[in-house]
Amino acid sequence: MPTVTFLPSFRKTEVPKGSTILEAAQKAGFHMNVVCGGQGKCGKCSVMVRSGEIDFDREKYGDFYTDEEASQGFCLSCQTRINGDLRVLIPEGSLVQEQQILVDSPGVPLEINPAVWKYALTLSPPTLDDQSPDLTRLLWGIEKSGGPKEGSIYAPLEVIREIPKVLRESGWRITATVALVPGGYRMINVEKGDTTSHSYGAAVDLGTTTVVVYIRSLIDGSIVGTGSNYNRQISCGEDILSRVNYAKRGGLEKLQALAVESINAALTAASNSAGIDRDDVYEVVVAGNTIMTHILMGIDPAYMIEEPYVPVVRRYLTTAARRVGLVVGKNSGLFIFPAVSDFIGGDIIADILASGMAESNDISLLIDIGTNFEVVLGNRDWMFACAGAAGPALEGGEVLFGMRANPGAIEQVSLDLRTLKPSFRTIRNQRPRGLCGSGLIDLLAELLRSCIIDRTGRINTAIAHERIRQGRQVPEFVVAWKEETAIGKDIVITENDIKALIMSKASILAACQTLMNQAGIGREEIARIYFSGAFGNYINKDHAITIGLIPEIPVERVTTIGNGAIAGANIALLNRRKKRVIDEIARKIAYIELNADPTFMDEYTGSCFLPHTDLSLFPGVEKMLDQCRILREQS
Amino acid sequence: MALKPLEIYKLLPKKNCKECGDPTCLTFAMKLAGGKAKPEACPYLDENAKTILGASTRPPVRKIRIGVGERAVTIGEELVQFRHEKSFFHEPGIFMAVTDLMTPGAIQERVIFVRDEILTRVGTDLRLNGIAVRSVNGSPTAFTKAVEAVEAVADLPEVLMAGDPAVMEAGLSVCGNYRPLLHAATSSQYWEMCRLAKKYACPLAIRADSLDALAELSGLCSAEGIENLVLDLSSLSLSEQLNRSTAVRQHAVSRKTPALGHPVCIDTAVSGLPDAALIAGVTKFGSVLICDDLSSASRKALLVLRQNIYTDPQKPIQITPGLYRVGSPGKDAPVLLTVNFSLTFFTLQGYLEASRVPCFMLIVDTEGLSVLTAVASGKLQETLVRDAIAKYNLSAEVAHKRLIIPGYAAPLSGRIEDATGWKVLVGPRDAADISEFLEKEWKG
Amino acid sequence: MGVSTLSEWTGRIGELVIGATAKDGGTRSHSVTIGGEEDLPYIGIPPSGHRPLVAYELSDDPELWPAAATRFIGDRVHDTAEWVAHADREYQPDLIRLYLSSTRERNFSDISRIGETVESVLQATELPLIIEGSNDPAIDSAVFQKIGEAAEGERILLGTAEAGHYRSVAAAAMAYGHSVIAQSPIDINLAKQLNILLRETGLSPDRIAIDPYTGALGYGFEYSYSVMERIRYSALKGDSDLAMPMISSAIDSLVVKEVREADEGDACPTAVAWEIYAMLPATIAGASIVCVRHPLSIEPLKTAIAALWNGEPKGGM
Ligand code: SF4
Ligand code: FES
């Protein structure tokens, strides 16, 4: 088998001839960027082959590389087959950027209270005087070492079958594993010797494009390994709707299998990186959007995307992990976060759990932003939620020089109010290639502060300045001159880009306002705002308020929780008591259908303004803008 | 006083027992706030909650029916002062007046007109509602004859207008079983009018010089057991009419003066400016509008105004998506794309008709949003256009592949071309310019 | 108990003056003031503020004008000044609203003609004027400068500023002492946004009239009606960014199907009814200036407004 050596880390792996470099990289534990799912469409999985025999169709994928790049050995890892030993350099841009993941909920201290216990027991062998059966002996042993009462533990037949052999072969020194499941205590494993230190659980975020797995020690809560993988369902359709349609056409079983395969692959990567045996994973907790979790359970999601959009189940589900095909410990349990509606899925419930808002008396607003967004308002007593489409602008889509948060993306910008000269920072300090979401938000705020755009986003072309000019169709502002960039072109933001951004931000603010109106809550009553999702991690919170992406509250009360789905799954894994909280959240949430809400459209047009048509909602921003205006008038 | 869901929620028992049919108390509260549920559905409300919720869900303007059968008119039941707050519910009934001085032939001509004349707009039939019979002669027999003449040709709802209870009773002897509105009781004869209203189970209009006196009279009639009251606010002065009807609605919806929580009647002949009085009546809270003869132009405009004011403002009126023809377009006729917001549709259709260029209108489903908002909110997308072209089989209708899109949809032009393979021409922003556009861009 | 209208308002509509007399450096016979209300339209006896006014609309390019309107005027329509003088004399509107529609022609460039037209109209009437300029960013600046300059000192109401192009109108108005019509497409938020944008150019709020755009009767009029009610309501509730008087013109009234297809004998009354049944409700919703194109709509509309205003019965409409 050929050996592939990955640079710069020199990590090695062996794969059969004919495998793709992508497969090899994943086997070696790299989290590759595979936006199109390995179809050779996105170009995000590029690697540089330094030496060795490969098979790659340069003709077919010629568009992705310049001649110079081709001569340096660039190729699509998903489309390149391995013919012999290779040395491959993985550019940073081709790796999924590690996200900051909060595994504690900011509001609630983390408790380690898992639903699985291991008891190392030394039992006295039976004698003619002591003829109690093996199982009783075992159960007594558990009770004596502080475990649940003998009578309260159920032992399934599969485990009982193992007992006599394990007891005797181990010389009566064994470890029993007991789990708390909805029916009560259940013995899920007996092993020889003392294995109490090998007790793990897995938290899984089953996303539409990516699967993330965390393996945690159930003893001290520590993270022992992580792994991620693209969701292999991508081959059946890129977005969620096409997956549902695929399921409708009889593809449910395949989708289910692919979901399981993706989780298993990520589990493998995580357990490999942790150096543990997957059989020692005793519980798997999965948070995912409604469609994903329904598919994972093999439940037809078709009816959820039709009116009135009801999910099949609105409570958490538990079953044996192996029953759905997950390769972990034999009798390990699987816990799946509940879904509330088509859009408010287990991932959002996990966000809520991670934020701690459901356990607080204070009112919080939680916003999860991606191409779709979800907003939740409430506290421990009540909760409203809604969802909508924000459009891709905030992620850099549909913006002329927009890009994802990859190296070379301008992620921070500020403008000198007097000279209007931008200063910016790019990801990995490379020459700029474009603007990512956080850079766009900065830019929008700065353009507003410097009065280059008016509150509807129109560029004031009356300002005589070299950076303000008429573009091909609409006016534009030059952020970086071509000499400074890595793309040989001026990087500009056009008036159309700005409009697209304003529309995106407006739908989110309008959703927040609609929930607040429904509840009759003013912005002063909001104690915290939580941002979840990768997007929220990098954005400048002040600027998010300046442009009216979120309601104005003191900026120190805005918190980001990163990938809330994985955070929530981790919390539930480590603390079984949270499962009750999860169920309560799911039952408490009242879902508001924005399209059916007559005030939403009104709020939306009101929000298509920087920061909002009702200036009194943003008193701090207004004060700041007034000062900027005075400054600008002076210069 | 509309309560917010959370305010209502705080009044509920928070048991989440589902007995109301909702999964949680909060969702039930949302339904209550939206008027989509009745408080009685929750068996565990305490007294305080019952009073607050009960009062806030009962309509502040009483619901009343005039007439019987198919053409009967329902009025009242209004909740708000401004239509944008929710909606106005029951269109005012428009009653054309006849008098007992007219010949039976003349009376019947008018009655038949009201009975048969229909104006159809936006798929709805608009018509006048009924007949008001004025006692001018003063004699009971003349009144009886006039009412008989009306009854002979139609089962329309009626307003009997006679200040003399004896005359009124004469009219009732003809049509008393058909629930006419009795017009009108005053402080000097109200008990007799109440007796008649009770005997025939009819709604009763009341009239007084001031709103205070009217509120008092309303109380007196209630005491006589008559609750189905209509407040007559006809006035010589239009200013007074408007001020009074506004005050009545304000007092009703704020529940300050429940005695004024009744529909309003206006005799638009009184002011001498019938069109203006009708306009003020339709826009500002009239529920029974009485008029003498109306010109055909005024009648149409009045019916359309009433339809406009009483449409639900929260529901953009939508046109069924599809392919519409203007004139008889041929294979080379232009195709104009627009949205299914009715205002946009009708405006464009009007200008297209005026342009005399036969063409197709391809109406896509933007859920009633205008072009501007549909583009802004992403409802109008290239895929929508592509699907519509396929669905309505446009390629079979025309022999070209050129599509004219609204000026405000210009940002989508490239994407529509890519998605459909049709060549896109960006039309004007203003429908008024379409004729010129077709002249220069299409033909040229 | 004293039952009367309830008013818990805190706001007041600002006043806007149109037209300047010799005393103020203009040539108008009088100026008019609109706005100033502290309650709902026509509420109060007498009502607060100023009585709504009726403007007569005409165009320097009769080709672009509805036949139902020009038919009545005859050949005079080809001489804008004569048309104006005739309308002033015969129909006595409160204001004249001149549309310089010729600027909407393709590749229009004859800016000097605009100046001449404005000057001739100023000669032809002493009524306060509303003048509508171009709608094309390429020429807006030149056109509005020209109008502003030609009417300098006359305190005209200059139209139309929209969110997409408001700077040149505002600049011309500020330079020559005029006021601005701020038009937005039937939406209270958009109306407010435009007022804020104009304010931020330095235009004073007492130089703005809101035009919320008015659909013709049966063609979306109800949306406009409610937007006007909402604007007035918000202004009275204290929103100063909406506390400007409103101008309403159902510009499509004379080209809607009902009017175009009316029977011969009914054509004229239908045209008038379609204008009156939209414009009188517009005043009830809060418009301070309502506009008509059919000359016979002017008198009955003025009569009806007067009756709603001071309660005097006056027969014959
Ligand atoms: S019946 Fe009453 S207590 Fe029970 S869920 Fe409904 S509202 Fe709550
Ligand atoms: S090209 Fe998309 S993953 Fe390789």
Q: Do residues C317 and B274 touch, judged by C-beta distance below 8 A? A: yes
On whether both A175 and A157 belong to a single domain, the answer is yes
Q: What is the mean pLDDT of chain A?
A: 88
A42 in contact with ligand 2, CB cutoff 6 A: yes
Q: Which ligand sits nearest to residue A94's alpha carbon?
A: 2
Domain boundaries, chain C: 16-309
H-helix or E-strand spanning residue B120: strand B119-121
- Selecting from B211, B243, B354 the residue whose C-beta is nearest the C-beta of C260 gives B354
User: Domain range holding A432?
Assistant: 393-501
* CA pair distance B420, B417, nearest whole angstrom: 5
Give yes or no for C302 touching A (CB within 8 A): no
pLDDT at C315: 34
ipTM over 0.85: yes
Q: Which ligand sits nearest to residue A25's alpha carbon?
A: 2
Min CA distance, B35 vs chain A (Å)? 13
Give yes or no for C189 touching A (CB within 8 A): yes
**Which is the closest atom of ligand 1 to the Cα of B24?**
5
* Substitution site in B40, B42, B46, B50 for ligand 1 pocket (most atoms within 8 Å of beta carbon): B42
Contact C185 B370 (CB under 8 A): yes
CATH fold of B5-57 reads 3-methyladenine DNA Glycosylase II; Chain A, domain 3 (1.10.15)
Which DSSP symbol is given to A309? -
Instruction: List the strands of the sheet with B335-339, edge to edge.
Output: B322-326, B359-364, B335-339, B402-405, B423-426
As a whole number, mean pLDDT of residues B3-31 equals: 85
Mind giving me the DSSP string for A29-71?
T--B--TTSSSSSS-TTEEEEEEEEEE--TTTTGGG--HHHHH
Q: Which residues of B touch C231 (CB under 8 A)?
A: none
**Alpha helix (H) ranges present in A396-494?**
437-449
Partners of B338 in beta bridges: B363
pLDDT at C244: 98
The pLDDT tens digits of the residues spanning A3-51 come to 999 988 888 889 999 999 988 887 787 777 776 767 787 777 889 999 9
* CA pair distance C99, A32, nearest whole angstrom: 64
- CATH number 3.20.20.20 is the correct assignment for the domain at B64-309: yes
Q: In the structure, how many helices (H) and strands (E) does chain A have?
A: 17, 27
pLDDT at A315: 78
Give the max Cα distance, chain A: 103
Four-residue CA torsion sign, B31, B37, B41, B45: positive
Looking at the predicted structure, is the pLDDT value of residue A224 above 50? yes
Candidates A283, A291, A202, A277; CA nearest to A241 is: A291
Angle at B338 between CA B336 and CA B342, to 5 degrees: 125
- Selecting from C163, C189, C241 the residue whose C-beta is nearest the C-beta of A606 gives C189
Domain boundaries, chain B: 5-57, 64-309, 322-442
Tokens describing residue A303: 């009816």
On whether both A57 and A128 belong to a single domain, the answer is no
Strands B181-185 and B204-206, by their bridges, are parallel
Q: Which residues of C touch A608 (CB under 8 A)?
A: 189
pLDDT at A272: 85
pLDDT at A229: 79
How many whole angstroms from A34 Cα to the centroid of ligand 2? 5
| Residues of chain B numbered 295-314 and touching chain A (CB < 8 Å) | 314
pLDDT at B381: 86
**Which is the closest atom of ligand 2 to the Cα of A36?**
2
Q: What is the pLDDT confidence band of residue B351, given thresholds at 50, 70 and 90?
A: confident
Give yes or no for C190 touching A (CB within 8 A): yes
pLDDT at A318: 86
pTM, entire model: 0.85
Mind giving me the DSSP string for chain C?
------------PPEEEE--BGGGTS-BS--EEEE---SSTT-TTTTSS---EEEEEEES-GGGS-HHHHTTTGGGGGSHHHHHHHHHHHH--SEEEEE-GGGGSTT---HHHHHHHHHHHHHH--S-EEEE----HHHHHHHHHHHHHHTTTS--EEEEEBTTB-HHHHHHHHHHT-EEEEE-SS-HHHHHHHHHHHHHHT--GGGEEEE---PPTTTTHHHHHHHHHHHHHHHHTT-GGG-S-EEEE-TTGGGSHHHHTS-GGGHHHHHHHHHHHHHHHHHHHTEEEEEESSGGGHHHHHHHHHHHHH-------
Q: Do residues A574 and A221 touch, judged by C-beta distance below 8 A? A: yes
A38 in contact with ligand 2, CB cutoff 6 A: yes
Q: What is the pLDDT confidence band of residue A269, given thresholds at 50, 70 and 90?
A: confident
* CA pair distance B191, A611, nearest whole angstrom: 63
Which DSSP symbol is given to A432? P
Q: What phi, psi does A411 have (nearest 5°)?
A: -110, -10
B266 in contact with ligand 1, CB cutoff 6 A: no
Q: What kind of architecture, by CATH, is found in domain B322-442? A: 3-Layer(aba) Sandwich (3.40)
Tokens describing residue C32: 């008019």
Bigger pLDDT: B77 vs C64: B77
As a whole number, mean pLDDT of residues B204-217 equals: 96
B23 in contact with ligand 1, CB cutoff 6 A: no
Number of CB pairs < 8 Å for A and C?
30
* CA pair distance A167, B69, nearest whole angstrom: 88
Q: Which amino acid is at A71?
A: S
Any domain includes A510: no
* Substitution site in B20, B31, B46, B50 for ligand 1 pocket (most atoms within 8 Å of beta carbon): B20
pLDDT at A177: 93
Contact C197 A454 (CB under 8 A): yes
Looking at the predicted structure, is the pLDDT value of residue A102 above 90? no
Any domain includes A610: yes
Burial of A599 (0-12, 13-18, 19+ CB in 10 A): middle
Top mean pLDDT of A303-312, B103-112, C180-189 is at: B103-112
B25 in contact with ligand 1, CB cutoff 6 A: yes
The pLDDT tens digits of the residues spanning B179-203 come to 999 999 999 999 999 999 999 999 9
- Selecting from A382, A496, A507 the residue whose C-beta is nearest the C-beta of B26 gives A382
Instruction: List the strands of the sheet with A475-480, edge to edge.
Output: A468-470, A475-480, A491-494
A78 in contact with ligand 2, CB cutoff 6 A: yes
* CA pair distance A253, A265, nearest whole angstrom: 18
* Substitution site in A78, A96, A230 for ligand 2 pocket (most atoms within 8 Å of beta carbon): A78
Strand residues in A57-159 grouped as ranges (E)? 74-76, 81-89, 116-122, 153-154
* CA pair distance C74, C80, nearest whole angstrom: 12
* CA pair distance A478, A492, nearest whole angstrom: 4
The pLDDT tens digits of the residues spanning A534-567 come to 777 778 999 999 999 999 999 999 998 888 899 8
pLDDT at B435: 85
* Substitution site in B10, B17, B26 for ligand 1 pocket (most atoms within 8 Å of beta carbon): B17
Candidates B81, B93, B241, B86; CA nearest to B157 is: B93
The pLDDT tens digits of the residues spanning B387-406 come to 999 989 898 899 999 999 99
As a whole number, mean pLDDT of residues A219-242 equals: 82
Q: Which residues of C touch B440 (CB under 8 A)?
A: 106
Unique residue bearing structure tokens 């999985």: A45
- Selecting from C219, C255, C311 the residue whose C-beta is nearest the C-beta of B238 gives C311
Looking at the predicted structure, is the pLDDT value of residue A301 above 70? yes
A61 in contact with ligand 2, CB cutoff 6 A: no
Give yes or no for B286 touching C (CB within 8 A): no
Neighbours of chain A (3+ CB pairs under 8 A): B, C
Q: Which amino acid is at C20?
A: A
pLDDT at B376: 65
Q: Which residue ranges in chain C fall short of pLDDT 50?
A: 1, 313-317
On whether both A450 and A481 belong to a single domain, the answer is yes
On whether both A402 and A384 belong to a single domain, the answer is no
The pLDDT tens digits of the residues spanning C72-114 come to 899 999 999 999 999 999 999 999 999 999 998 878 889 999 9
Mind giving me the DSSP string for B91-106?
PPEEEEEEETTS-HHH
B38 in contact with ligand 1, CB cutoff 6 A: no
Give the max Cα distance, chain B: 80
Unique residue bearing structure tokens 């640079």: A7
As a whole number, mean pLDDT of residues A357-386 equals: 92
On whether both A385 and A524 belong to a single domain, the answer is yes
How many whole angstroms from A235 Cα to the centroid of ligand 2? 12
How many whole angstroms from A55 Cα to the centroid of ligand 2? 16
Top mean pLDDT of A517-521, A622-626, B119-123 is at: A622-626
Give yes or no for A488 touching B (CB within 8 A): no
CATH fold of C16-309 reads TIM Barrel (3.20.20)
Ligand 1: residue whose CA is nearest its atom 2: B42
Looking at the predicted structure, is the pLDDT value of residue A389 above 90? no
**Alpha helix (H) ranges present in A84-156?**
134-144
Most A CBs within 10 A among C145, C193, C210, hence the mutation to make, goes to C193
Contact A456 C163 (CB under 8 A): yes
Q: Which residues of B touch A598 (CB under 8 A)?
A: 314
Q: What is the pLDDT confidence band of residue A305, given thresholds at 50, 70 and 90?
A: low
- Selecting from C164, C189, C200 the residue whose C-beta is nearest the C-beta of A613 gives C189
CB atoms within 10 A of CB B216: 16
Burial of A429 (0-12, 13-18, 19+ CB in 10 A): exposed
As a whole number, mean pLDDT of residues A140-146 equals: 91
Tokens describing residue C270: 């239908």
As a whole number, mean pLDDT of residues A463-481 equals: 92
Candidates A358, A355, A444; CA nearest to A396 is: A444
Unique residue bearing structure tokens 């004139």: B327
Q: Do residues B416 and B403 touch, judged by C-beta distance below 8 A? A: yes
Give yes or no for B355 touching C (CB within 8 A): no
On whether both A223 and A314 belong to a single domain, the answer is yes
Domain total of chain A: 5
- Selecting from C167, C187, C196 the residue whose C-beta is nearest the C-beta of A455 gives C196
The pLDDT tens digits of the residues spanning C280-294 come to 999 999 999 999 999
A439 in contact with ligand 2, CB cutoff 6 A: no
| Residues of chain A numbered 492-521 and touching chain B (CB < 8 Å) | 496, 503, 507, 517-521
Q: Which residues of C touch A454 (CB under 8 A)?
A: 197, 200
Instruction: List the strands of the sheet with A383-389, edge to edge.
Output: A558-560, A526-532, A363-369, A372-378, A383-389, A589-591
The pLDDT tens digits of the residues spanning A62-94 come to 777 878 788 888 999 989 999 999 999 988 778
